[in-house]
Amino acid sequence: MDFIPEDIQQYVEDHSDVESPLLSKINRETHARVMMPRMLSGHLQGRVLSMLTHMIQPKVILEVGTYTGYSALCMAEGLAEDGKLITLDINEELHDQVQGYFDESDYSAQIDYRIGNAMELIPEINEPFDLVFIDADKKNYLNYYNLVIDQVRSGGFIIADNVLWSGKVVQTEKITKDTQVILDFNRFVQEDDRVENVLFPIRDGLMIVRKK
């Protein structure tokens, strides 16, 4: 996921808003206690998500893939005053830890944390989305996109994480199944005339999609 020199990365983070004490705690405890801590959005991406939601001021955010709650809390910072964030994850083992972070935050009343298979949970949500953040199992990225696109309001956004796949998207040999899934997703979005899109080389790649 490291695409720019470490000193430049540090300079960028030093000149971006700092993490809140709670986000810093989640960052620290995720690295200490949870498998695959690289899945955490982290400082810079978290500030980008916060800034984007402040710009959009969404009333309803759907997050597919909660992990330890870092990205959800970053996006909650920009919610409309009466807004809410629905976050879905299949990992029941992390529920108590993550719910504890949400309860500790200023946004506990606005976060609806659900455990289950997102492919089954998403169709049960009957309301328009202003913003959808997809950061779950890569094999279902396109399925998630197709499930939510009709519920995203005109002018709403979809953000997909990990679309550079540690740089593997530009490899021409030994393309793995996981890499092909990301390539297929990126190509589908690029060719989807219902949306406008830009791929940001932030951390592991953020695809920003705006529905026309």
Enumerate the domain spans of the chain.
6-211
pLDDT tens digits in sequence order for the chain, 212 residues long: 667 788 998 999 999 999 999 999 999 999 999 988 888 999 999 999 999 999 999 999 999 999 999 999 999 999 999 999 999 999 999 999 999 999 999 999 999 999 999 999 999 999 999 999 999 999 999 999 999 999 999 999 999 999 999 999 998 888 999 999 999 999 999 999 999 999 999 989 999 999 99
Assign domain 6-211 one CATH number from 3.40.640.10, 3.40.190.10, 3.40.50.150, 3.40.50.1010.
3.40.50.150
CB-CB contact of 62 with 48 (8 Å)? no
H helix or E strand, kind and range, residue 132: strand 129-134
Three-class secondary structure assignment of 61-121? EEEECCCCCHHHHHHHCCCCCCCEEEEEECCHHHHHHHHHHHHHCCCHHHEEEEECCHHHH
Helix 141-148 to helix 177-191 angle, to the nearest 10 degrees?
30
Compute CA distances 69 → 16, 62, 72, 74, 99, whole Å.
Answer: 20, 13, 5, 9, 8
DSSP string for 10-27: HHHHHTSPPPPHHHHHHH
Please give the backbone phi and psi of residue 5, each rounded to the nearest 5 degrees, phi first. -55, 145
